[in-house]
Structure formats: structure tokens, C-alpha cells
Amino acid sequence: MKSRAKIIAVLALSGLLGACSGQKPTVTTANIAAVKPQPRNLTNRTMYNIPPFRLPGQWTVGDILQTYGADVKGKLGYYFAKAKVPYPPREATLIALKQEKKLELWARDSGGFRFIRDYYILAASGVAGPKLRQGDRQVPEGIYRIEELNPNSHYHLSMKINYPNEFDIFHAQQEGRTDLGSDIFIHGKTASIGCLAMGDEAIKELFVLTAQIGVQNVKVVIAPHDPRIYPLKVEADTEEFPEWIPELYAIISREIGALPPVMKSAKTGL
């Protein structure tokens, strides 16, 4: 019975990690048996990079837009109209606040950015502070872009961010860190390791919006907490933190501080 319990536990963890996998879904044909398995590199494999169990991919981004596009337009259209921003907009910015467990959606067309709405972050592992290495269970902190949409995620839908970005890579090279980790997603469902789990309804809206305006037009800012409430700083009791964190927090604070103030009555989380 103990062996069976261990197997079940490993399978459960494997499924969870699969949500943050950046592998593209396999395109299937009618003759599934004819698909040749691809060799896998098992060198230095750890519990944090177990190849995910993935169902054959069948959906395309176009399928998602056709299936959910009208519904999302009806739901988000209300918030965009209230903010006086055309839907879909020209650009969007997502502000993820770890401590508050909120993700804010900002957008603009020809004018400045306006607050559209916010969502609850249902799960995000780790603590305040940037992601430094593979397996540290941290959600990254910094300024990122969406680089890939996955319509076949085990966690409904997912959007991959470009971690590690240039800032992460530069400081890792300065410190001799080589295994920075990867495959960080904003996705559906309610569980995650190192990613942002938003729930299925929220990711549906975010995924469709991003697909409509283009991944190149969506910025993602991830902060330990809201710097508009109190300044970002390294906590005094932090045992280990890089000396460049104040620089990172200054960049994040400027990015968020450039947005206009949000009235509390405008907050509209799920």
C-alpha cells in the first residue's frame, strides 16, 4: 500500500508541474500509432523537471477564439466600456501582486493606460523575492512579456512569460548561476508551482484578449506587493538575497507608478 501511495503522489506532482511546461502540444493525426516517440534527455533529471504527462493537443488558438471570443467580448466589453477604452484595445499590461493575490488588467488604445478590472490569483507558490534558480518554487519578479499561448494546457489555458528575461540572465551570469529555471505560465485551475493560477474563467478572458491584440502587445509586471501602498524593499529578516534586488524593485516601482491612480470603488475582482 505504501508503494501505491508513493506512485499516486508522484503522478499528482507530475500533473501539477505539467501546468508550467512550455512544450508545444503534439499535433495528432488519425493514425496515432504512426507517431514516433521523441527521445528525451534524462540527464540530471530532478523532481522539478519531470517531463509532464500531456494529452495529445487538438485545439488551436483560433479554435479558442471561435469558441470563447463572443462570450469574452460580452464580459470584458462591460469593463472596457466603463473605462472608456475600445475593445479590443491596442495594448494591455498585467500587474501581478503576490502579497495581495491580485492581477490587474490595464489597457489603452490611442490614449494613456486605464484600469479595466482585476482578478484574484488563486495560487502562487513561494515568497516575496525574485526567482533565482530551477526548483526554488518562486514566482519571478520583474518586467516580462507573453511569448507563447498554449490552448492545450492541462490547466485549461496558459500563457507563457519570457522568464528568464535579459535582466535575470545578466545578473545570473554575474553571479555564476546557470540553472535559472523556465516554463513560467499564467494559467487556469487553482494550483501551481512557480506560476500564477487564475482559475478557468479568468484565464479564458486573459487568453482571448491576448490572442486578439497579439502577444507582442501585452506586458506583464510581477511585484512582491503593491508599491503604491508602501515601498518595495528587501525585508530585514531575509536570510539570502542578491544585492541587485533594490535595483529590480526600483524598476518595478517606476513601471507601476507610471500608471494613473485607481479609485477603490473601481476594483472589480472576481
Catalytic residue, candidates 154, 171, 187, 225: 187
Residue 66's SS3 state is helix
Write out the three cell numbers for 13: 506532482
CA nearest to 226, candidates 198, 206, 255: 255
> Is 195 noted as a catalytic residue in this protein?
yes
Q: What are the Cα distances from residue 110, in Å, to 14, 190, 211?
A: 44, 35, 19
Using an 8 Å Cβ cutoff, are 187 and 198 in contact? yes
> Is 187 noted as a catalytic residue in this protein?
yes
DSSP per-residue letters across 130-187: ---STTS-PPP-EEEEEEEEETT-TTS-EEEE--S-HHHHHHHHHHT--------EEE
Annotated catalytic residues are 187, 195
